[in-house]
Structure 1
Amino acid sequence: MDLIIPTISQGLLWSLLAIGVYITFRVLDIADLTVEGSFPLGAATAAACLVAGWSPIPSMIAAAFAGMLGGVVTGILCTKLKIPALLAGILTMIALYSVNLHIMGKANLSLLQVDTVFSLYAISGMSQANMILIIGLITVVLTAVGCYLFFGTEIGAAIRATGCNPHMIRANGVNTDITIILGLLLSNALVALSGALVAQANGFADVGMGVGTIVIGLASVIIGEVLFGTRSFKNCLISVILGSIAYRAVIAIVLQMGMPPNDLKLFTAILVAAALSMPLFQSKFNKRKAAKN
């Protein structure tokens, strides 16, 4: 039980990042590396606001808004300046490193002596681990329901259609530049919100905490799709959330088995590569099976 609750709690907090990555990677069909900058941007913004005396909710709203701006910058570089999406994300990510340093004033900002969303709203007698679990669950449920409802609207459907067939949606009179920017805006807002929550849970914000977040997000998406399926958009959202928890569970297990923490990034990269290559191996296996029959 000592390991289960923190694992699920961290999985829920990071699932917001996974949903953001899912929106760009699967819905828009864009490999967006902005998340490596917008995740610490959300953490830095929330931490700076909390240290300045803001209450947790406005601090997280400010973090999400900062993430939106990061997504808009990438969207403008991609659509208006015709810079390839991958390169646009890299440029924004690099720029946000300096922005995050300016927001915090230094490379690391401690929140140990500051009231966070987990301490300020803690129920008397409840441990912080349980509070992280409850607030994480509430936030993820509200986010997932909001995304499901939004992508069922006309604007949301246009964003999904942009990723599926941009030529068709343009032929129907939709400005795909706007839909791409909106998708990137929403994605990075969720990523920044995830960063704000993770920073408060960990007790600090660090300028380097975004390194490898794109791989973590992809791992959650791929693991969720492989284990829980992609039958519908609602199923995809649930799969991504459960995939994030499953990824955290895998990390906790391998750490308990004695894997050095320094090897986690390598392990995650191998895990994602293996998950991405599974359809290929499955196809070859099915062909060989059919040939034998």
Structure 2
Amino acid sequence: MSFEFFLGSLEIGLIYAIVSLGVFISFRLLDFPDLTADASFPLGGAICGLCLYLGINPWLATFFGTVGGCIAGIMTGWLYVRLNILQLLSSIIVMIGLYSINLRILGLGKYLNDEMDTWVGSPNLPLLSTNTIFSPFINEDATNQYIVQPLLVFIFVIAIWFLLNAFLNTQKGLALRATGTNQRMAKAQGIATGRMVILGMAISNGLIALGGSLFIQTQGSADITIGVGTIVIGLASIILGESIFSAKRMWAITLSVIFGSILYRLFIAIALGNELLKDIGIGSEDLNLITAILVVLALVLPKQLKKWKSKRGKSA
């Protein structure tokens, strides 16, 4: 594996670390099975890509993409809290609706630039000639691109990790955690659990959409398919991180999620770049299969290791 390939994998792992933190809020803190992630990730990318295509400031475009994800999370939470639709079904409804909306957003740029006569949906939007948040730091010959992009994304991850932990230790953050732990008990303590669920879903999908906004800026295009498997990647990172780095304090748990995402992408890179696996026909099209195997191993191996240790202790 070349150094450039390693840095590229590290960069994607850091981007998905932000996504995994968002998934962690919904699945772990709120106990909310949220499939909106598969749509809010490309939603953030589509909104950010549209803004970049129209020449809007990249930082503002990234912010708009994040806000779009927050709105998607609010819609999922609202369907569950106000309309009493099941959690999983609420997220599926929003995910399905956002697919069409994402297509429309991706097709809006060419229509506004008078490149098309009618506003129709598009599966992708090219961004190779647009400015991104990375552009001011990259040389004209792009020789430092492989170092600059991971470094800036790393700064994003550290900032988000710090802010998230600071929020979770505030009164609202503790109320959100209490809502996910025992909603009935939290309600009895005077916590507005419905508002906490909606707030948590907004933060969760906002982080996921932020990941999508950063992802399209590193890839040079916004595409409708980038959201496929987002929730699986997020859960795989969480499971992997918690299995390898067992922790009890919240700051350590969220840090383990970040490490889990980075390790997950490195494992994927190693698997896809392994010559032996290439010789037997394993390629990039087997990415989801490799993901499934990694999730199973992350779930099974820690339990088997504990059993082996306990048996070894008894025999000794």
Q: Which residue of 2 aligns with 1:153?
A: 170
Q: Which residue of 2 aligns with 1:33?
A: 35
Offset at residue 287 of structure 1 (A): 6.2
Q: How does 1:237-256 map to 2 (within 5 A)?
A: 237-256=254-273
CA distance in 1 between partners of 2:246 and 2:146 (Å): 30
CA distance in 2 between partners of 1:254 and 1:279 (Å): 21
Paired residues of 1:72 and 1:185 also in contact (CA < 8 A)? yes
Larger mean CA deviation between 55-64 and 123-132 belongs to 123-132
**SS of 2:125's equivalent?**
strand
Q: Which residue of 2 aligns with 1:174?
A: 191
Q: How does 1:206-245 map to 2 (within 5 A)?
A: 206-245=223-262
Offset at residue 86 of structure 1 (A): 1.1
Q: How does 1:1-293 map to 2 (within 5 A)?
A: 1-105=3-107, 106-122=122-138, 127-257=144-274, 258=278, 259-278=282-301, 280-282=303-305, 284-285=307-308
Offset at residue 16 of structure 1 (A): 0.6
CA distance in 2 between partners of 1:255 and 1:12 (Å): 18
Q: Deviations over 1:16-61 (max 9, x none)?
A: 1010011111111111100000000000000000001101100010
Offset at residue 134 of structure 1 (A): 1.5
Q: Deviations over 1:211-237 (max 9, x none)?
A: 101111111111111112222110011
Runs of 4 or more consecutive aligned structure 1 residues displaced over 6 Å after TM superposition = none
Offset at residue 200 of structure 1 (A): 0.5
Letter in 1 for 2:299: L
CA distance in 2 between partners of 1:248 and 1:188 (Å): 21
Larger mean CA deviation between 276-285 and 254-263 belongs to 276-285
CA distance in 1 between partners of 2:271 and 2:294 (Å): 12
CA distance in 2 between partners of 1:172 and 1:21 (Å): 26
What is the aligned length?
A: 293
Offset at residue 9 of structure 1 (A): 1.4
Letter in 1 for 2:90: A
Unaligned runs of 5+ in 2: 108-121
CA distance in 1 between partners of 2:300 and 2:82 (Å): 34
CA distance in 1 between partners of 2:9 and 2:136 (Å): 22
CA distance in 1 between partners of 2:309 and 2:184 (Å): 34
CA distance in 1 between partners of 2:259 and 2:305 (Å): 23
Larger Rg: 2
Letter in 1 for 2:61: S
Paired residues of 2:272 and 2:283 also in contact (CA < 8 A)? yes
Paired residues of 2:139 and 2:145 also in contact (CA < 8 A)? no
When residues 167 and 282 of structure 1 are mapped into structure 2, their CA distance, relative to the original with a 3 A threshold, is: farther
Letter in 1 for 2:240: I
CA distance in 2 between partners of 1:15 and 1:280 (Å): 25
CA distance in 1 between partners of 2:184 and 2:295 (Å): 31
User: What's the Cα RMSD here?
Assistant: 1.7
Paired residues of 2:4 and 2:146 also in contact (CA < 8 A)? no
CA distance in 1 between partners of 2:310 and 2:7 (Å): 43
Offset at residue 126 of structure 1 (A): 5.6
Q: TM-score, normalised by structure 2?
A: 0.88
CA distance in 2 between partners of 1:78 and 1:172 (Å): 21
CA distance in 2 between partners of 1:159 and 1:274 (Å): 31
Unaligned runs of 5+ in 1: none
Paired residues of 2:243 and 2:299 also in contact (CA < 8 A)? no
Letter in 1 for 2:45: A
Letter in 1 for 2:221: F
